[in-house]
Amino acid sequence: MAVIKLEERVLDSIARRLVPVLGERGIVTADVAEVDSVERWRRAARRAGRQLGHPVRTAVSTDGTMVWAVLERPVQPGEQAEAANRVATMIFGPRPFVRAYRPDE
């Protein structure tokens, strides 16, 4: 008779669902009320990070209602500036087209 490691299968199943989101966004959150076990979800998130090749930081919100995981991947050159531009665009809207010119033209 084969021994089924149920906990391992559950962790693998959760991690499989988290990998695409973590890979694309770098962060994933879940409502604690919708999670079977917060510690199991956090273990699965760390497993998903290992599958992506990066460590993952997990935590529970201060009010205890949300659990989240963030990839701790190295920052590429220009990535922070790009993120800042995205946030500025979300807040202020797209930048108007600006063309530098010389007064003698």
User: Which pLDDT tens digit goes with each residue over 19-53?
Assistant: 999 998 889 999 999 999 999 999 999 999 999 99
As to burial, measured by CB atoms within 10 angstroms (0-12 exposed, 13-18 middle, 19+ buried), residue 26 is middle
Contact 56, 71 (CB under 8 A): yes
Domain ranges for the chain: 9-92
Contact 54, 72 (CB under 8 A): yes
- What is the rounded distance in angstroms from the CA atom of residue 35 to the CA atom of residue 87? 30
Contact 85, 94 (CB under 8 A): no
> What's the CATH fold of domain 9-92?
Ribosomal Protein S8; Chain: A, domain 1 (3.30.1370)
DSSP three-state, residue 50: helix
- What is the rounded distance in angstroms from the CA atom of residue 105 to the CA atom of residue 101? 7
Q: Look-up: residue for tokens 């998903």?
A: 48
pLDDT tens per residue across span 51-102: 999 999 999 998 999 999 999 877 777 777 787 777 777 777 776 655 556 6
Overall pTM > 0.75: no
